[in-house]
Structure 1
């Protein structure tokens, strides 16, 4: 099926909800997405033990936005003309910001699939959330529940295993630091160990297998804004594990 056929068949993409399942040794997060009429996705992200207990609204806000950047990987399969947000609330400004990120972050995808990203009807965002955040006072509407406590002045380094990771680890030698790994290769694990992170924070990102199945069936595929994903992931990790400074070279991953 081509772009127009997919949009005609799948008119809405819904960010339904997210679920947080903490335990003694890990924090599991599930995101629930749906493409109408009947395709459901349930990707997950798993953080290891050592995370702190933080304000529930702050945690929900950070996870909601991580889910939003995760959502783009699933929306692109059919490019539904409407994205419905039920998981939380977004202000008008935030909707504009996310739409801008979606369009500018999918440049390779649009080029590969010959999609006119300038079309005014490419995508519309609709908020249908009952979240209490929608009734917060000005300055906090849209789920802007910020983390207002201080974080320890230490460094959280994203390590992918390339030369930039090695340079960054050497540059911060002697500084208080920890490594953040996402679905790491052996090279990344070895580099973190050599760089002084004997027990790095290793996060698992588990893609819903239905995404790959749809790709095999001819649904749309292409690059997504992975650097933006890492930004949201590392921000959540920094708050969970108490690190003030996030260190990442653009070409680390």
Structure 2
């Protein structure tokens, strides 16, 4: 099967009455793709200024979402038919594609630095509109512990919020229902099935920066649903890469990192819309700190899920629950172990993963005792080592076979329960929270 030489950003069209956005792409071999996004319950009557800003946001989203189709062949030429592209726009999206496809490049043994070429055809970059948006916090919900902590922190601080999800499955809907916050924002994204046909015929496939892609969708939602803050739930642990490859740091969580958050915020407020604020409320915290805070919200214990099998792109193969045999399950189990206790944690997961010999290799990767940090949304190696060492001091966990075995190979000291909680909730100054939200987080954590 011969590879095409050019990827084409063909067109996009939004029907406000149907609340449906269509994004069109293609390759120069005649292949065509149409992706659809449906904005359920979005307002249909837009002012002229709102429509102009929305068109600008959709144009940027069109460029971002194209990464899912571009990766099938990764040709060295790109053609943008939706209007001239300025140098700042080309620079932003080159970095987004290069870093967002880092893991994909490793898995497919590609050097993308010379392949990603957004054509610069405009002399001037677009200038952000100064559009006033309603005061509201939109909180993207993923079904796991992190967004739950954000929900409860905003509730504690008395901040108005609407929960938001793209393609919500059972865990997300159950978390939303359990939160008792009304009127969620639901969006439905449907990739073109012809992309999967290409994959079956030998086209490349792999990880894409999904959080970054959906950040553009959520930015468009600010016009369609009315909110001025997008409150993400990404932690400082997302800043840590997995490995160095071809001179680049490869980070599975690149589009959850502070680096992307800053790039996206600057790009948004310089070239698209000034009145929209995007930040992660949990950025000052580690995964361990978030696990500590989540342990105080027992009302969610039976509905939260982080295992990726709950969120598979093919709904037909999704599995509800915890598989207890993947990096996500291992890490969440480990992070919660010091704060929830063994009996309750076994009840949640269905087994004691730290007493399960076949899990040893996976826990070794999490703690840096072999291989590299898994290509997954997991915490830092240092915090995993600290947790294992600290669990070895807790009578409740000392009899779980993997705890003493791995702890014996870790030189750093562990911490007693109270000291571990204090360390977990120690905040990093490396964030971009608005001052009022930092005060809110401090109050919620008891800092």
Choose between structure 1 and 2: higher strand proportion.
1
1:167 is matched with which residue?
Answer: 149
1:204 and 2:196 matched: no
Task: Name which structure has the greater RCO, CA cutoff 8 Å, separation 6+.
Answer: 1
Sort the Cα spacing of 1:143 and 1:32 in 2 relative to 1 into closer, same or farther, 3 A: farther
Please name the residue that 1:248 is paired with: 232
Alpha-carbon distance in 1 for matches of 2:96, 2:60? 13
5+ residue gaps, structure 2: 235-255, 257-305, 307-376, 378-447
Match among 2, 8, 15 for residue 14 of structure 1: 8
Counterpart-to-counterpart distance in 1, 2:145 and 2:204: 33
Alignment length (residue pairs)? 232
Say which structure is richer in helix: 2
**TM-score scaled to structure 2, two decimals?**
0.49
Instruction: Give 1:31's aligned residue.
Output: 23
For residues 71-82 of structure 1, the aligned pairs below 5 Å read: 71-82=66-77
Return the match for 1:216 from 192, 200, 211. 200
Instruction: Measure, in 1, the Cα distance between the counterparts of 2:187 and 2:42.
Output: 12
- Unpaired runs of 5+ residues, structure 1, are 129-133
Correspondence for 1:46: 38
Cα distance between partner residues in 2 of 1:143 and 1:57: 12
Runs of 4+ in 1 over 3 A off after TM superposition: 141-144
Structure 2 residue aligned with 1:124: 117
SS in 1 for 2:151: helix
Instruction: Give per-residue Cα distances to partners, 1:30-82, cap 9 Å, x unaligned.
Output: 01101112100001101012436142321111001111111000000011111
Q: What's the C-alpha RMSD, in Å, of the aligned pairs?
A: 2.0
Matches of 2:210 and 2:32 in 1, distance apart? Answer: 22
Report the Cα distance in structure 2 between the residues aligned to 1:47 and 1:240, rounded to whole angstroms: 8
User: 1:109 and 2:104 equivalent?
Assistant: yes
Deviation at 1:249, TM superposition (A): 1.1
Under a length normalisation based on structure 1, what TM-score does the superposition of the two structures give?
0.85
Measured after TM superposition, the shift of residue 127 of structure 1 is 5.5
Deviations 1:107-156 (A, max 9, x none): 010000000234x3x1322367xxxxx5xxx8xx4444x33122222210
After TM superposition, the structure 1 stretch with the greater mean CA deviation from structure 2, 192-201 or 149-158, is: 192-201
